[in-house]
Amino acid sequence: MPRARLAAALLATALALAACTTAGAAPPPAGPAPQDPATFLPLVITPNDQAPSPVRGTDGRLHVVYELQVLNAGPRAATVTSVESLADGPAGRVVGSVTGPQVTARSLLVGDYPLPPVPVTEIPGGGTALLILEDVYDTPEAVPATTAHRVRATFGPLPPGQAEFAQNFPASSEQVTRAPVRVDGRAPVVIGPPLTGPSWVAVNACCELSPHRGAMLPLDGRINGAERYAVDWSRFDLARRPIVDLAAGTQATYAGDPARNESYFTFDQPVLAVADATVVSVVGELPEAPPRQFLTLPVTDLGGNRVVLDLGNGVFAFYAHLKTGSPQVRVGDRVRRGQEIARTGNSGNTSESHLHFQLMDSPQPLTATNLPWVIDTLTYVGTVTPETVVADPPPGPRSGELPLIYSAVDFPPR
């Protein structure tokens, strides 16, 4: 078709389409254009990438533990005043809430690593904090598949030298998270006791901020909660009063000379395989640390003498701070549940003799994902306070529970 005729045909088609459009439909109604918000929402809140699994604690309730990363992208220092957990989305029921000092007690500033972890009241402009959270449920049916969060915060004064648009950062905010926490439905791993006998206390354990829950370190391209469900086991004289003397800085974990490892009730106790397993890692030659003194060690040796067992199905058990020369197994050995594999010691990064125990999804303790677990046979004694042992909930035999922080338990004798 000649170019002139082609142009005429296209023009005629365009006119016909315009006529059809005009004749067949009314123009869209006029209205205001969508407007951007008048102020910014400075907090960028995302869940840590390790999905939590419900685990039953020695209080008889289900604990869903996780972390939120809170980036303060504004120039004003932020104070998070409350966090509400919302079941199954922003419109869901409130299933957990922390406010004021409770928020502070569960806030950890990224890039600051004091020991023990120090809660923070403010997130500086450009800084990030981790909120160490948990939601607690009475029954499995009550646990939602996802949880959103409503976060309220106040902000300090605007620093000098900011651009004019920075005036749009508010003095307070309320916002609901975009990314939900997704609950992993896998059941915790069921294991046997790692120790034997009475009066063992879970000194650092789930679920409040402690040296374990605060072990949030940048490893392998993520902030890894490498000790989320880990327990430090220490044996106490639970009849002593007070159990912990805050003024003297002592506790009922030893008798005699506190400068000798042999004075501690935990030292040189049998450590047991928690399941039939294969030994995949053994370190036994590192020295004992003197009590209340920390050795200078490479990161890889913070656990001191240690054993890692492969329990199968991608589950590994990690035992740390073992007595020098005490491991009785070698790599490749098969062990049976209840078999003695080593003795408790005071090697590695430790202030006094205890057993660090955890489960994980690889044999590398620092970069592995920490896995939830429960013990199938124990007797709950109570919760240890500085003054006494509180028998609430009532003591007695338990099965399928994770000892919570400061829980005192008895394990079956060998």
Beta bridge partners of 64: 135
Which sequence spans correspond to the domains of the chain?
A: 43-182, 189-411
Tokens read off for 252: 């009922």
Q: What is the pLDDT averaged over residues 201-209? A: 93
HEC-encoded secondary structure of 357-397: EEEECCCCCCCCCEECEEECCEEEEEEECCCCEECCCCCEE
Q: For residue 116, is the peptide bond before it cis, meaning its omega torsion is within 30 degrees of 0?
A: yes
Per-residue pLDDT band at 7 (split at 50, 70, 90): very low
**Res 18: pLDDT:** 38
Of 118 and 195, more confident: 195
**Res 27: pLDDT:** 64
d(CA 61, CA 96): 14
d(CA 289, CA 198): 25
**Res 29: pLDDT:** 66
- DSSP code, position 241: S
Q: How far apart are the first and last CA of the chain?
A: 99
pLDDT digits (tens, 9 = 90+) for 355-398: 999 999 999 999 999 999 999 999 999 999 999 999 989 999 99
- pLDDT exceeds 60 at position 173: yes
Tokens read off for 359: 């489960």
pTM for the full model? 0.89
Per-residue pLDDT band at 28 (split at 50, 70, 90): low
- Give CA angle at 202 (199, 204), nearest 5°: 150
Average pLDDT taken over every residue of the chain = 91
d(CA 408, CA 385): 10
DSSP calls for 144-185: -SEEEEEEEEEE-PPPTT--GGGGGS-SEEEEE-SSPEEPP-
- pLDDT exceeds 50 at position 63: yes
- pLDDT exceeds 80 at position 54: yes
- CATH code of domain 189-411: 2.70.70.10
Per-residue pLDDT band at 217 (split at 50, 70, 90): confident
**Res 337: pLDDT:** 98
Per-residue pLDDT band at 23 (split at 50, 70, 90): very low
Q: For residue 207, is the peptide bond before it cis, meaning its omega torsion is within 30 degrees of 0?
A: yes
Per-residue pLDDT band at 34 (split at 50, 70, 90): confident
Rg (CA), the chain: 28
**Res 6: pLDDT:** 37
> Which of the following CATH numbers is that of domain 43-182: 2.30.30, 2.40.320, 2.60.40, 3.40.1350?
2.60.40
Of 296 and 46, more confident: 46
Least confident of 25-29, 205-209, 356-360, 388-392: 25-29
